Structure formats: C-alpha cells, structure tokens
Amino acid sequence: MAEVSLRHIKKIYPNTEKQKKKGDVHRVSHLKVTAEGVVAVDDFNLEIADREFIVLVGPSGCGKSTTLRMVAGLEDISGGELLIDGKLVNDVAPKDRDIAMVFQSYALYPHMTVRENMAFPLKLKKVPQAEIDKKVNEAAEILGITEYLDRKPKALSGGQRQRVAIGRAIVREPKVLLMDEPLSNLDAKLRNQMRAEIIKLRQRINTTFIYVTHDQTEAMTLGDRIVIMRDGEVQQIGTPQEVFDHPANLFVSGFIGVPQMNYFDAKLLKADGKYTVELDGKTIELSAEKQARLAANDVEPQDITLGIRPEHIALFGEGSEMFHGTVDVSEMMGSSVHLHLQSLGKDVIVIVPTMDLQGIHHDGIKAGQEIAFTFGGNVVHIFGKDEKNLEF
C-alpha cells in the first residue's frame, strides 16, 4: 500500500577498463553508450498510484528487470530519484524499503521447508510466533499450498514452488510487491492458471504491484497500466486498451498484439482540411476522431507507414475499396483462422473467425486461393517516417 515515484531514473553500467582501452564500447546491442558507460535505463519517469498494478514489458535487454531491481534496491541507481510513499529511498537498503519480491527462479531457500521459507521474513522482523503461524497459514490457504507446508522446495513442482515464493512475499504485507517474470519458468497451461491466480490474489491483498514480463498477454491481462520499454527507454505508458488502440510508435504497435500488426507503405493526403490515406491507388477515409487528432497536431501530407491489426481486416464483399491477395498459409486456430497472404508486396496476416455472424464458414480457405479484403478508416494507425504515431 504505497505510492511509488520514479523520477528521471537512470542506470549506467560503467565501461570496463578493457573496453575503454580497446575503444569498442559501441558493441552492446542497441543500448546508448556514453563516456560513462552503457545506459541500461534512461530517464525513466513513472508515478505509480497506491494499489495500482503496473506491468513493465519489453523484449530481452530493454531494461525492465534493471528498473525493477533498482526499485528493489538490488541495483544502485545512477541518477534520478526513487520515492516510496513520498520518502526518497535511493540509498536505503532493500530490507528497509518494505518491499517484497518474487523471482523468476523462485529463489526459495532449499534447506528450509515451505513453512520456514514463508515464515523467514517474519522471523527476521521478530514477529511473535503465534502471529507468524497465523499469517503463514492464511497465505498458504490463499495460495492452496497448505498440504505442502512441511515439504522442502525440491519436493514441489514448478507451479507449487512459485506459489511458495508468492506466499513468502505476501506474508509480510509489503508496501510494494515486485514480480520479476514470475511465470516464465512455467509451462503454458500452468502459466495461464497462475496468471488467473495472480489476478485473484490482487483482489485479495491491498498492495501496489510492479510486474516485469516479456509476455504481452500477461501485460495486457494483469496490468492497470503497462509500461513498454525498448533499449532502456520508455516507449509508452498507458492502460492495456490505450496501448492497443493507440500505440505511440511502430515498436509499440508491433510489440502489443498477436499476431503482429500489418504495415504498408502509403501516403497521407489532405484536401479541403480533410485527411485521407492512399494505399495502392485506393483512398481510405479516416474517422472523425483520427481527423481531429491529425488536425490538432497540424500534420502535413507525407509518406507514411500504415498499420492495421490482423483482426481488423474483413474478407467479405467485392468492390473498388477491396485489396487482393493470394493465401500463402492458412493456420486453423479453432475459433479463428490465421491467413498469411501475399498482397501489395507484403506478407499480410488476417484473422478470420471460423464462422462469422452471418453463419458463413471461413475454415475452407486453402493455400493458393485468391481472396479480397478490406478495412475501415477507423482502425488504421498512421506512423510517420520517424516511426512515431502521427495522431500523438
């Protein structure tokens, strides 16, 4: 139960002497490299409200875990301010920050039983034994691990171990609960199950969550707000719906949503104060909302990258506004079919429900078949050459 403020947070890993001598400090992925060293996190700003569930998401090496570790106190902060409940904690030891953390590798104490693992932080706080027992039993009940309390971690499955790790974190009733890819070591089925349990857990305990994942499904389902990161920089902060509907740039649009958004080279035109998009000689009318946003930003006509999500493409109908393509691969997913088309010189993915509202079956579409598709001007995304969404 606490507000967390990250203000201009920065993490720089100093260049090693070897790198300095060699002068090859520019070989670390796409991270910014300065004379001081490799910038793993750059100018991170976020105000987290009390009891909010924040998810940091991004590809490997984007700095999300580093940010979380800085909040935990496991990494020094190179610059900026970290406040928990209004108190500056940059130089406060992890144990004095009143936080708890769940690790990807569970990090249970192998020589202790489940009960001892969960009681350990309380024992260190010198909580009376009766209270420790009560809290451990309560947490074990919430997580459904009561029958394993006297087992050692090695006698538990991955899912059970992760529950114990979560249990150890929640018995302390921390101000902030940090989770570093807690579900990544679990198989797909167990991950879905645990994800649902984290949602339930969140409703039962009153604490602020910061959750790190590379899985966008986890991010979308769990987070009140999502922070999308890339190469140490925040790309966008918003609710799951916001980042899905209005991605700030090409990277976010591609990272959020499965399968990935389709992109086309197109032209943004403006006539009589009205914006339209021209793609393959066809004109796409934009919605009033998009018109207003583009007008507000005073966007000039220009070459653009047009983004359209696979689920926003429709197959029915024929006419001048239809685009044509050849089916390369048809993937039957059960409730829907993913069609990979060759169209407009690109690989285009279309998601079609197996049976649409008119009762027409689409599961018979085979590779090599010619089909026509279209999409509305209200669901397209317009990115400038600098990869930014022109509506922002």
Partner 1 sequence: MDKNTLSAENRRKNILSAVLGIICIIYVLPVVAVVINSFKVNTYVKTNTFDIPTGEMWAGFANFIKGMTFGNYPFWKSAMYSTLITILSTALILLFTSMAAWYIARVNSKFCKAVYYLCVFSMVVPFQMVMFTLSKTADKLHLNTPWTIPIVYLGFGAGLAIFMFVGFVKSIPIEIEEAAAIDGCGPLRTYFSVVFPMLRPTMISVGILEIMWVWNDYLLPVLVLDINEYRTIPIHIQYLKGSYGTVDLGATMALILMSIIPVIIFYLACQKYIIKGVAAGAVKG
Q: How many residues does the chain have?
A: 392
Closest to partner 1 by CB, 93 or 130 = 93
CB 125 → partner 1: shortest distance, Å? 6
CB 137 → partner 1: shortest distance, Å? 19
Closest to partner 1 by CB, 208 or 235 = 208
CB 170 → partner 1: shortest distance, Å? 13
Determine the Cα–Cα distance for residues 168 and 101; give it in Å rounded to an integer: 9
Determine the Cα–Cα distance for residues 13 and 20; give it in Å rounded to an integer: 13
Residue 145 main-chain phi, psi, to 5 deg: -120, 20
Closest to partner 1 by CB, 110 or 254 = 110
Chain residues binding partner 1 by CB under 8 A are 72-74, 93-95, 99-101, 103-105, 107-111, 120-121, 124-125, 168, 172
Closest to partner 1 by CB, 99 or 337 = 99
CB 18 → partner 1: shortest distance, Å? 12
Q: Between the CA of residue 112 and those of 20, 101, 109, 117, 272, what are the distances in Å? A: 45, 18, 6, 6, 74
Asked if 349 and 339 count as a contact pair (C-beta separation under 8 A), the reply is yes
Closest to partner 1 by CB, 84 or 261 = 84
Closest to partner 1 by CB, 124 or 155 = 124
Closest to partner 1 by CB, 12 or 352 = 12
The number of helices, as runs of H, and strands, as runs of E, in the chain is 10, 20
Q: Between the CA of residue 70 and those of 76, 78, 199, 390, what are the distances in Å? A: 6, 10, 25, 33
The residues pairing with 57 across neighbouring beta strands, listed in sequence order, are: 213, 228
Say which residue the tokens 């220009």 belong to: 302
Asked if 36 and 43 count as a contact pair (C-beta separation under 8 A), the reply is no
Say which residue the tokens 């001007």 belong to: 377
CB 58 → partner 1: shortest distance, Å? 21
CB 357 → partner 1: shortest distance, Å? 50
CB 127 → partner 1: shortest distance, Å? 11
Determine the Cα–Cα distance for residues 277 and 267; give it in Å rounded to an integer: 6
CB 121 → partner 1: shortest distance, Å? 4
Spell out where 137-207 has E strands. 176-180
Closest to partner 1 by CB, 181 or 233 = 181
Determine the Cα–Cα distance for residues 350 and 342; give it in Å rounded to an integer: 11
Say which residue the tokens 């940059």 belong to: 90
Closest listed residue to residue 43, CA positions, set 66, 14, 75, 10? 10
